[in-house]
Structure 1
Amino acid sequence: MAKTVFYSFHYTHDVHRVQLVKNINALEGQPILNSQDWEKVSRGGTAAIQKWIDEQMAYKKAVLVLIGKETATRPWVKYEIQKAWADKRPLLGIRIHGLSSMGTVDSVGGNPFTNAGITGVPIFDPTTLDRQGKIDSQGTYNNLSDKIETWSSQGVIRS
């Protein structure tokens, strides 16, 4: 199983959801920068951001793309996916739109792998619905908690 992973995600929109994923404590991921630390890295420009990503991804066993509503359109997510693919690092996606962020859930987002020009990468969806057909964020969290460790070992590698 991929116990150490690099989490790829859209920071601004999904950082609270990603913190929930990290709090499951099933996997070890890179540090999630607070907004001030991210600003410090990004002030260094494209080269500094790429260097930070490359260093954080270097010793991870897999790259987990945490897919929220806007993840597929983010240029740094695309970079991370393409880097993982080029490095032959196991790659997979998990939908996180059903986790609560500041008390709300989100709508499903597009496929970031297609946007990065890659096909065949599995995307897992722990989203659970209540009796009225609405997203149950607690049920989604519990479902993710039960399955994330198993899913982390099911990434695909470029052949």
Structure 2
Amino acid sequence: MATKTVFYSFHYERDVNRVQLVRNINALEGQPLLKAQEWEEVLRRGQQAVVDWIDKEMRYKRAVVVLIGQETANRPWVVYEIEKAWQEKKPLVGVRVHGLSSFGSVDRPGANPFDEASGVYGIPVFDPTRTDWSGNIDTKATYANLVNNLESWVAQAKARLS
């Protein structure tokens, strides 16, 4: 049962499989994930179509969860979503997903996307990544840590005060 409705912000092409793992936890209720061809259709209609889709999907969400992968900070739509949430005083939180398995592989941690957004500060970023005895990312332990903590991390999201 979902306890909180959120908008997930992420780099679609690189992290959609990791995002699906986060959604499968069922701790939070997020916007519907578009299939690749549906997202491409929105993109083909132009920038205003993307803005309209983001605005519509974010409108009634209680928080914005930025799922941070290796390239998330470089994505202009992620930065737009962060700035929009900040402007609208929606609570923001970051959760690193590079340690989750995507077709059997993991990524390196990416830069903090909140550093790329204008005027946004103090947003908590949580990292569920766990390693094994040899220092390699343990994707199962990482997922278990995410399952155990996602709701409490989102509860710590920060909104702009004024």
Q: CA deviation at 1:2?
A: 6.4
Report % sequence identity.
59
Q: CA deviation at 1:119?
A: 1.7
Secondary structure of residue in 2 paired with 1:152: helix
Deviation track 1:43-72 (CA, whole Å, cap 9, x = no partner) reads 110000000000000010000000000000
Return the letter of the residue paired with 1:129: T
Give the conservation status (yes or no) of the 8 Å contact 1:72–1:109. yes
Q: 89-98 or 37-46, which moves further after superposition?
A: 37-46
- Measure, in 2, the Cα distance between the counterparts of 1:2 and 1:25: 9
Residue 149 (structure 1) aligns with? 151
Whether the 8 Å contact between 1:8 and 1:63 is mirrored in structure 2 is yes
After the TM superposition, which parts of structure 1 deviate over 2 Å for at least 4 consecutive aligned residues? Answer: none
Q: Name the residue aligned to 1:45.
A: 46
Q: 1:100 deviation in Å?
A: 0.3
Where does 1:6-155 land on structure 2 (aligned, <5 Å)?
A: 6-117=7-118, 118-155=120-157
Alignment root-mean-square deviation, CA: 1.1
1:67-106 alpha-carbon deviations (Å, 9 max, x no partner)? 0000000000000000000000000100000000010011
Residue type at the aligned position of 1:121:
I
| Structure 1 contact 65–94 (Cα < 8 Å) conserved | yes
**Counterpart of 2:155 in 1: which secondary structure?**
coil
Alignment size in residue pairs: 159
Output the CA distance in 2 between the equivalents of 1:71 and 1:2. 26
One-letter code aligned to 2:106 = V
Structure 1 unpaired stretches of 5+: none
Instruction: Report how far residue 152 of structure 1 moved.
Output: 1.0
**Structure with more relative contact order (C-alpha pairs < 8 Å, separation 6 or more):** 1
Deviation at 1:151, TM superposition (A): 0.8
Structure-2 separation of matches of 1:40 and 1:125: 33
Q: Could you tell me which amino acid in structure 2 is paired with residue 138 of structure 1?
A: K
Deviation at 1:153, TM superposition (A): 1.0
Q: Give TM-score, length-normalised by structure 2.
A: 0.96
| Alpha-carbon separation, structure 2, partners of 1:151 and 1:2 | 13
Judge conservation of contact 2:64–2:92 (CA < 8 Å) in 1: yes
Task: Give me the TM-score of the superposition, normalised by structure 1.
Answer: 0.98
